[in-house]
Structure formats: C-alpha cells, structure tokens
Chain A
Amino acid sequence: MSRPGDYRLVNGTVIDHLPVGSAARAMDLLGLPREGPVTVGINVPSPSQGRKDIVRVEGLFLEKHELDRLALLGPSITVSIVRGGKVASKTVLDVPQRLVDMIPCRNPTCITNAEPVVTVFVREGERPYRFRCAYCERIARVAKT
C-alpha cells in the first residue's frame, strides 16, 4: 500500500537494523541526502531488535570505506542493495580490523594530533570492540560496536 509521499526504492541501498537514534548519524557519515530521495524510519518495530532505525537511499551504492564507517554505529547493521525494485544482495556489516583515516585520536599529546599523519586504529578483543591507536597505543573507545 503506497500513500502519497511514500517513495519506493528502485535502485539503491537499504541500511537496516541501525540502533535507534543512529539514523541521523548514519546520514551524516554518508553525507546524505546526495542526489536521490532518502526515506528514514526512526524507532521502527523490529522482531529481532525491538526497535530500530532504517535508511533507504535511491541511487546510492556504498564504497568499502563508507561501509566501514557505518559498521561502527552498531553491532548488526545490514546493508541491502536493491536493483529493479528487488533486493539483489544483503550483508551484515562486520566491524573492520583496522580503522584507517576514519577517526581522530582523542589523546591530545598523540603524535597524530601534531603531525600530518593518517590515523590508524587496530581492533582488539571481542564485542564491544575496542580500538587502539597504532601510534600512542591508547584505547579509543569507539562505542556501540
């Protein structure tokens, strides 16, 4: 059932199972909206999660570095690619082993905050994952993963 104002995805991406409240952050990370229409669901009932956020974007196909960023927002985010109105593929995002040039180091005396260096963080332990700065060796607490 389609109502006026609804938009049905033809070719694009569905970012699903976002933790409630993270849809805005996801849009921010991806610089949305770009060209195509975006529909956002917030606090949507979900059988597996209770509640979730969901973002659907027409005409958008994400790159690896964008998926890596999204993965940090929650533990079981899925990304589905829709083509011709049908789901062509669906992936559960995995939190990357290394975060390269994605977040700044919060240690003010870390060399990465003094020199033009690409930051690198290495994933440690089990969920919730912690990331250690490859330079100052401090833990950067990347929450929600």
Chain B
Amino acid sequence: MSADQHAAQAFHGRSVVSAADFTKAEVLALLEAARQFDRFDPGGPAWGGLAPTLSGRVLGTLFFEPSTRTRLSFESAMLRLGGSVLGFADARISSLSKGESLVDTIQVVEGYCDAIVLRHPSEGAARLAAETARIPVINGGDGSNQHPTQTFLDLYTIREAAGRLDGLKVGFMGDLRYGRTVHSLTEALLHFDVELKFIGPENLRLPRDLRDHLRRHGRSGLEVENLQDAGDLDVLYMTRIQKERFPDPMDYERIRNAYRVDRAALAPFGPDLKVLHPLPRVNEVAPDVDSLPGALYFRQTRNGVTVRMALLHLLLGGALPLEGGA
C-alpha cells in the first residue's frame, strides 16, 4: 500500500486526540501527505493552484480557553482548502457553553459542522468529545495533556529541515517537567532511531512517568543541567520556563537566564544545528538567533498550517495524490 493510500485509510473519519494513538506508518503517511500541500506555499510557484477540496465543508472551532495561535492556524488551514469555519474563541464570551456540559455542547455543535477542533482546560476533554461526537474531533490542546497537531508539525519541521528523522541527536531544553510539547514529541520520536538529550534545571526535570516510559523502551537519554554538557546535537527544541513554576521570583530570574540561548551559546554546535520552539517565546531564544539558517520556529508556525491542511483533508475523506499546482 502506498503512503497516500495508507494516509487516506488511516485518517478518514477518525478523531485525533493524542499523537500516541497513531502508529509510525500512520505518522509517516501524514507527513508525506503534508508534503503534497507544502507545494502550495503562499507566494510560491504553485500558490493559487490548490483545488478547494473542502469547499462546502464546515470546521467548528470550540475554544473553551483562548489560544489565538492554534485557532488561527486551524482556521487558515480550513479556509485555504475552500472550507468555512464557525465557533468561539473563548468560553467566557460564549453563551453556548455557559453551564452546559461539554457532552451536550458537542452534541449541539456536531449538527453545525463536519469536524470539530476542541481546546479545553481539562485534561481528557478531547477524548470525551471524540467518544461523544459522530464527526472527527481534533484535540487543539486539553489542559496540560496533549496537543497532537503540534507534535505532527514538529516532526514535519525536523524532517523537512534535516531530511530525515532516523539518526538524529535531539535535545530538549527548558521546562522538561510541565512542557506538554516536550512530552508528546519525545514519545513520538520513540518511533525513530533518535538519540534523546534533556537539558534543564533540577526542579524541572522530566516527570517520572515519562522517564519510566523511556527506560522501558531502552531510550533513557542523557539528562544534564547545562547545554555545554549535552555533547553533539542536530536539533535543539527550546521551551519557555514559566514564572508560576517558581515560588521565589529570584530563582525564576536566575533559571530563566541560565536556560536562554543566543548565537554565541549555539556556535559550538556548528552551522547545521536546527533550533525549534513552539512559540510564543519570552527571552529564551535571543533575537540574534533568528537570522541563523537553522532557526526554524517561524517555519514551524507555517508548517502548522500545512500539516493541519493535510489532516483536515484526510479526516474529511479527501483523496491523494493532490491535483493541481506545479
């Protein structure tokens, strides 16, 4: 079976709750599908040639907590495929969700649309919504639990930039304990022959569950407190360290300055180092890094649209290979 057929079969009508629900072959099939959409890059040679494959289809965006970036990315993906979007950006201003159970809201909204993107402050909300709805539900973030499309776009960006996933040395730096993106990308990278390294302060080390999980896979990885002890790296995935994790503001200032990178700090890793960050950043990646060829964080946000286009296309029964374009 070709990657195209595999993707079409694996994703049609399915909900996307957790990246871990997908096999390696399914993840690769999605990344391959996304590559077909990437040809229609805004401003690129094929720009404007994309067939409106989701014309007449409606995406419901239910954001029970605000996340402008995620919402705009999904909306952009749906609109670029010729579909429409409805929903709310913040449960506090939506009368729809006031006092109503999530299960009821889902059953109401599924009558209005063909797929739902759900962002919710409670862990497990997307799983529950997916069990309830008869249409695909995409998890746009459930509390501190999962955000699968972020994981897919991270994988896509690394593969696009490095040309492969197998054989890479990938370092995660910053908040390893609460960083949801770190946890799910780490888990997804276990599908591949990747050397994992974790760089962070003592109080923000990997959670025990994840460390046990890695150990069971024989992939414990290196854990160090300082970037200079990490050895070689092909990819450095940065995360934000949040103030609320530190009772003492002095500790926060000290730590956040210790886990900040600039051009000089990255120089020892050579010119091929790829730097990723889920954004928004505060000060952990200095602006002088932006002009390095390996600075990929804005590329990530663009790829986010591409990957979400591929996903929406497949979930709603679109065929591959895509037609049109160069």
Contacts and interface: CB of A to CB of B under 8 A. Distances in A.
Given A116-B101, A137-B18, A137-B145, A110 B127 contact: no
A137 B124 contact: yes
- The interface centre, meaning the residue of A117, A125, A139 with most chain B CB atoms within 10 A of its CB, is A117
B265 interface: no
Contacts of B229: none
Contacts of B145: 136-137
A137 B128 contact: no
| Interface size of B as a range | 10 to 19
Contacts, number: 50
B254 interface: no
B226 interface: no
Contacts of A139: 209
Interface string A105-117: 0010111101111
Nearest to A117: B128
Contacts of A42: none
Contact of B122 (A109, A116, A134, A137): A109
A114 B18 contact: no
A133 B123 CA distance: 10
B147 to A, nearest CB: 12
A139 to B, nearest CB: 5
A107 B123 contact: yes
A67 B56 CA distance: 53
Contacts of A114: 102, 122
A115 B128 contact: yes
Interface in A92-144: 107, 109-112, 114-117, 125, 133-139
Contacts of B127: 111, 134-135
Most A CB within 10 A of own CB, among B18, B102, B127: B127
A109 B121 contact: yes
Contact of A125 (B18, B143, B146, B216): B216
A135 B123 contact: yes
B128 A109 contact: no
Q: Which of B101, B123, B125 has the largest count of A CB atoms less than 10 A from its CB? A: B123
Interface in B192-214: 209
B72 interface: no
Interface in A28-78: none
A interface residue count range (under 10 / 10 to 19 / 20 to 34 / 35 or more): 10 to 19
B118 to A, nearest CB: 11
Contacts of A110: 122-124
Contact of A111 (B18, B124, B144, B146): B124
Given A109-B143, A115-B128, A136 B123 contact: yes
A11 B147 CA distance: 55
Nearest to B125: A111
B124 A136 contact: yes
B103 interface: yes
Contacts of A107: 123
Q: Interface centre among A114, A125, A137, A138, by most B CB within 10 Å?
A: A137
A109 B144 CA distance: 9
Contact of A133 (B102, B124, B143, B144): B124
Contacts of B120: 111
A111 B173 CA distance: 30
Interface string B228-254: 000000000000000000000000000
Contacts of A133: 124
Interface in B116-169: 120-125, 127-128, 142-146
A73 B198 CA distance: 37
A139 B207 CA distance: 11
A137 B213 CA distance: 13
Nearest to B123: A136
Interface of A: 107, 109-112, 114-117, 125, 133-139
7 contacts: A114-B102, A135-B124, A135-B127, A136-B122, A136-B143, A137-B145, A138-B123
Return the 8 tightest CB-CB contacts between A and B, nearest first: A135-B124, A136-B123, A111-B124, A136-B124, A111-B122, A111-B125, A135-B127, A111-B128
